[in-house]
Amino acid sequence: MGRSVPRSGNESRIEANIYAERAIDAATKLQRPLQAIAMEFRYRLRRTPLLLPVRHFNSPHLSQLLDETQRGIFAEINPVEFIRTACDRFLHVHPFTFRGRKKKTGSFDSPLGVRFTVTGRNIFHGTRRTDEGKGHTDTCFLAARIRLGGYFEGGFHYDCSRGTSKYCVKFRNCHDAESYYIGNPHLNVFPHDFIL
């Protein structure tokens, strides 16, 4: 059992100062890495692999990228460069490819041949409804906007397709409920594996 914390007098002020110094130190150490993540999501939203849905993309390289970023970013002197280097390693295996007539639309291809096409800013959709419904929890909605401590644009998702026919798949969603989904022709898959 730990020691009791003094609640009054000079000892309590000393203890409060120690806690405050530790909190400020921890916040200072978090500031640069979290700013780097926020910058990645703001300026490279459509090209960063850090927002690919883990379950649906189903690549050990994505899991490795997220794990490496989460573990390593806080020890780095230049977290922006660290993120870029880690993402570049991922892109050697799963390149971001521009497609379409004008080469303005980009996508990632999963190991199973599912194309994750990034949508244009003006067609984001899928914002939170007022009711949770279908088993969704607050954790689902929080994960829909935050990854690795960084906040990203609401409604951001990937148009997922495979081949030229309707994309159909049986899959676990953001809270592990398994369902069969039929795209028309694609499915909208969000970074936290919510499927619409």
pLDDT in tens, 75-92: 888 999 999 999 999 999
Is 157 contained in some domain? yes
User: Backbone phi, then psi, for 58, in 5-degree steps?
Assistant: 55, 55
Q: CB under 8 Å, gap of 24 or more: what pairs does 46-52 form?
A: 46/106, 46/118, 47/96, 47/106, 47/118, 48/87, 49/87, 49/90, 49/91, 49/94, 49/96, 49/108, 50/83, 50/87, 50/147, 50/148, 51/147, 51/152, 51/156, 51/191, 52/108, 52/116, 52/158, 52/191
Residue carrying structure tokens 């303005």: 104
Calculate mean pLDDT across residues 182-190: 91
Is 150 contained in some domain? yes
- Determine which helix (DSSP H) or strand (DSSP E) holds 181, and give its type and residue range: strand 178-182
Total domains, the chain? 1
More confident residue, 2 or 75: 75
Is 116 contained in some domain? yes
Domain residues for the domain of 30 are 9-189
Nearest CA to 72 out of 84, 62, 57, 82 is that of 82
Q: Going by C-beta distance under 8 Å and a sequence separation of 6 or more, which residues neighbour residue 116?
A: 52, 53, 57, 107, 108, 109, 110, 158, 159, 160, 189
Q: Does the structure show a pLDDT above 80 at 126?
A: no
User: Backbone phi, then psi, for 47, in 5-degree steps?
Assistant: -115, -10
Is 1 contained in some domain? no
Q: pLDDT value at position 122? A: 61
Distance in angstroms (rounded) separating the CA atoms of residues 128 and 51? 18
Distance in angstroms (rounded) separating the CA atoms of residues 114 and 87? 20
Is 109 contained in some domain? yes
Is 2 contained in some domain? no
Q: Which tokens in the block code for residue 186?
A: 């694609």
> Any idea which of 19-33, 126-140, 168-182 has the lowest mean pLDDT?
126-140
Is 3 contained in some domain? no
Q: pLDDT value at position 137? A: 80
Is 4 contained in some domain? no
What's the whole-model pTM score? 0.83
> Quick one: DSSP state of residue 44?
S
